[in-house]
Structure 1
């Protein structure tokens, strides 16, 4: 099968719409993962054993099951329980929850890396628990974690084709629809690879910049 540039020009707008949705799902999923990861990390440090152990079990359960199964559960099983989610919402929650459990370990390592003296100094200054976390601990813990979190961001981006399983019209789903409709797979699937490669390379460059910027702080 020969490469058809006219066909490429014809399908390019459709694929670009898929690229936009892929990037949107990745950004929203990363935001959810960042928040959920911090919540999980803090709950695992709770002095309440029930809370800490329940959170640890939930984290290990999510990490131990495939993302695709979790997406199917959110989109196809929850409606039977009366919870109906739009495809993109289910995809973002699935990505965010799944990668939030991994980022929780990154947060935990960063928090435990803060010297004990910083906790004692905050206590000596009569800071509240909230003030200690917001003004002392997190500002020191977060910068060294950014490169590791960025790695998960890139990994999440490359996992977005799984969202096609729950009818999200991201890049891979758009390409597959175009290919099935026209019975031509060379151009759309190749372009999917090219788009993912370009965006991944740009992300890697940004990651290297983050490592140079924040690695020294760590």
Structure 2
């Protein structure tokens, strides 16, 4: 015999899963856009050109210094003042991608800087061009050590998709608020919503920890 709680959860689950699909889509799009940007910002910050380095540092620090919600509002409500109007989904993706890329750029930079200096010297000894050594030797090793941090940040960007409800994106949190407004059973709805989030983030966290241990043993 089903309890009222399980019965209500059975009714709430389909719209919440629909919102989950939207949340995953937002997170994947932000990651796909954000990772190349992260590498670009990282190379800018590490550039020997002071102007490029300063510009990259400003971009990264602004992206890391402001809450993701503020960035979301600036993109969605601020850009129209300059004649750039974006759909709510596009604005959410851009805001999340920028925030994600700024944090990931520092993770990548830390990974690259953790590679022993001797690797660069070995490339010079073999007669390799400094750019070739950096791209073929230093970067792969740096990215390998940065993988756990990048995965952890990817989990956070999935959680940050919940902020998109503030601009009416029909993601998981927006669906939860809609359901709660219909029946005023906010506690039941949000407990189930939390379980749906956990069903995604907990396995991803376990994978991140397992990968971190595997990579740690290989060094």
Within a 5 Å distance, the mapping from 1:152-191 to structure 2 comes to 152-191=153-192
CA shift for structure 1 position 4? 3.9
Question: Do structure 1's residue 87 and structure 2's residue 69 form an aligned pair?
Answer: no
Question: Do structure 1's residue 24 and structure 2's residue 39 form an aligned pair?
Answer: no
CA shift for structure 1 position 194? 0.8
Give per-residue Cα distances to partners, 1:146-166, cap 9 Å, x unaligned: 111122122222222111112
2:78 alignment counterpart: 77
Give per-residue Cα distances to partners, 1:115-174, cap 9 Å, x unaligned: 222223323434345532332111111111111112212222222211111211110101
1:205 alignment counterpart: 206
Question: Normalised by the size of structure 1, how large is the TM-score?
Answer: 0.91
Instruction: Structure 1: state its 5+ residue gaps.
Output: none
1:102 alignment counterpart: 103
CA shift for structure 1 position 182? 2.6
| More moved, 42-51 vs 110-119 | 110-119
Alpha-carbon distance in structure 1 between the residues aligned to 2:26 and 2:108:
22
Within a 5 Å distance, the mapping from 1:99-138 to structure 2 comes to 99-138=100-139
CA RMSD of aligned residues (A): 1.9
Alpha-carbon distance in structure 1 between the residues aligned to 2:24 and 2:199:
13
Alpha-carbon distance in structure 2 between the residues aligned to 1:129 and 1:123:
7
1:215 alignment counterpart: 216
Alpha-carbon distance in structure 2 between the residues aligned to 1:148 and 1:53:
24
